[in-house]
Structure 1
């Protein structure tokens, strides 16, 4: 049986015209890189990069019972969140396994936007629909109606300010406001997945090409050029920032506590929520494995699926994400290792050769 053809984001033709290498990612043809992925990475670290994130899912939960429904459906507490704020959270299975990690934005008293990873959008929509059934809340998947463009980097605010009168100075990290950007109505969120300051712009799918063009076009007198950046740069940026990727660090076989993200689970919020009983047990039980950062001493990069080996030569973990770090100049990785493993003498089996690694605290990179 042939699989369904990959979908196009509203910016597909733009990427093709820019000469991007396009790959199938989560059912969408997405730009892997436009040229040098290292140059794209460095542009975000030093100035600004532009990403197409229109493959992400936007699921709206609204109604008098919307907050209560999300409190029940998710591990975090959504009811106390103020309008205009955002929160990182997760939706878990009854056994505590992670179905997806999410950002929830409160757009109005009775309206929330749940942003899900592209590969999990249908799973999240269906789970929210089922879990909201006992509340006065409606769940609507509006993913196809939206495009999502991210402007990320230390110069992001200065660049975006040239295109909007919205009070960006007042928009704090993990907050959202409505505004006009380059003549286009947008939801402007100060969120991102790169470890840098930046903004994510939710706009109508039909406005995406015009907005991208305005943000990417260098104007006379501009001090810097906004560089289009693809999935490769996004992955190395988020890896340096120690941010988990669903399917790598987070899966249905992983609990938030194993991933070092137990802080997002609010066991003390009023009422029950899906997965609470299982997660309460995990919270009191030392995890059998833990997520750590690894920095290679040599030049060969640990990659996803490679074994982590103890000083005695016994496999004691597995790499979940790994790549050369353009910022550190050395290969880095995140890996799950057995809870009892000491942090000395570890190596990664890189295609049959043991490469020594040092265990470090996450994140590898934190902006000043």
Structure 2
């Protein structure tokens, strides 16, 4: 058995009653008290997540921008210091290596945030692709702890701990400053659909920062929040998760992420395949659905058309605590997305009502 990796907050989770599970090789809290209560706290007040398992990489050098334009689908030339870009990087066949955030700190100086389960694969891929460019890709993942404070009162909570004027930090922007006396990258981003911040700090300061957020958070109704609520929140918001809505076999066009694929910036890895797919139309399509029923539709469930013919497969499924019904996403034949679709749950046929996410009203950041 391989030893699970731990974040700098591992002891913190155990002290606060986190129920620990193996998540992509990491020992992480799936919940503290109740996934339902934690989910509602983030929608109504504020929650604190440990996302220190996420990976980070520095991309620096005279050709850092040129390299990133080759590596990812979105247009990094639009970035300026303090700005963040959501994008994906693809294989030559168009499948997704990973989705990621690109932070521009300065000229030819970028920080990338990548998914926890993909760190080794992503770093190896990026370093291989960087050959021939005058820049370096350095894995910084062990150096950072990362906390996410999310919810309608998230900005108030973080503001109570920092002299930095957070009103000046717009959505998908960041700054650097101190939070509870800890030096942080203060990033107005998140994976819940709510307003809030993600704080990157030195790994050795992570537990100290988390404890300070907990103490200050009591006045704001803060709940410690685990991976269970993180998944139900992101699915309610309609955000993709690598290994589900995007994979090495699911392109960003198929996944409905065409808005992060910028062909006019010039060639990038996979651009020819993706352009052909966009022009011809995707054979398959990611769709989001609800059922009107509380029974969860599990990933892997077969999707059927009105004639009972298999036309796809569910890739994510959960119960939405806000609308109190099962929601999910599925990869289906593009033509079938216009038909009535259904799943079979232990002998009961449930019709799928296709929905354009988010499933719940979200506050504009």
Compute the displacement of 1:27 (Å). Answer: 1.3
Q: 1:165: which partner in 2? A: 163
Which of these residues, 8, 16, 40, is aligned with residue 38 of structure 2?
40
SS of the residue corresponding to residue 110 of structure 2 reads strand
Is the Cα contact below 8 Å between 2:287 and 2:337 reproduced in 1? no
Q: Which runs of 5+ in 2 are unaligned?
A: none
Matched, 1:257 2:222: no
Matched, 1:238 2:230: no
- CA-to-aligned-CA distance 1:148-185 (integer Å, 9 cap, x gap): 00000000111111100111001010011101000000
Could you tell me how far apart the structure 1 residues matched to 2:311 and 2:133 are? 45
Q: 1:282: which partner in 2? A: 277
Distance 1:252 1:169, change over 3 A: same
Could you tell me how far apart the structure 2 residues matched to 1:101 and 1:218 are? 33
Q: 1:74: which partner in 2? A: 72
Matched, 1:336 2:331: yes
Write 1 or 2 for the structure with the bigger share of helix: 2
Is the Cα contact below 8 Å between 1:46 and 1:154 reproduced in 2? yes
Compute the displacement of 1:299 (Å). Answer: 2.4
Compute the displacement of 1:286 (Å). Answer: 1.1
Is the deviation greater in 356-365 or in 173-182?
Answer: 356-365
Could you tell me how far apart the structure 2 residues matched to 1:191 and 1:324 are? 24
Which of these residues, 237, 245, 248, is aligned with residue 244 of structure 2?
248
Could you tell me how far apart the structure 1 residues matched to 2:176 and 2:215 are? 23
Could you tell me how far apart the structure 1 residues matched to 2:337 and 2:277 are? 22
SS of the residue corresponding to residue 7 of structure 1 reads coil
Is the Cα contact below 8 Å between 1:20 and 1:32 reproduced in 2? yes
Q: 1:134: which partner in 2? A: 132
Q: 2:12: which partner in 1? A: 14
SS of the residue corresponding to residue 336 of structure 2 reads coil
Structure-2-length-normalised TM-score: 0.97
Report matched runs for 1:298-317 at 5 Å: 298-317=293-312
SS of the residue corresponding to residue 37 of structure 2 reads helix
Could you tell me how far apart the structure 1 residues matched to 2:113 and 2:288 are? 27
- CA-to-aligned-CA distance 1:39-67 (integer Å, 9 cap, x gap): 00000000100000000000110111111
Compute the displacement of 1:339 (Å). Answer: 0.9
- CA-to-aligned-CA distance 1:245-268 (integer Å, 9 cap, x gap): 000111000011100001111111
Q: 1:352: which partner in 2? A: 347
Q: Count matched residues.
A: 363
Is the Cα contact below 8 Å between 2:285 and 2:337 reproduced in 1? no
Compute the displacement of 1:108 (Å). Answer: 1.3
Is the Cα contact below 8 Å between 2:104 and 2:110 reproduced in 1? yes
Matched, 1:364 2:359: yes
Q: 1:322: which partner in 2? A: 317
Could you tell me how far apart the structure 1 residues matched to 2:291 and 2:54 are? 32
Could you tell me how far apart the structure 1 residues matched to 2:195 and 2:150 are? 6
Compute the displacement of 1:18 (Å). Answer: 1.2
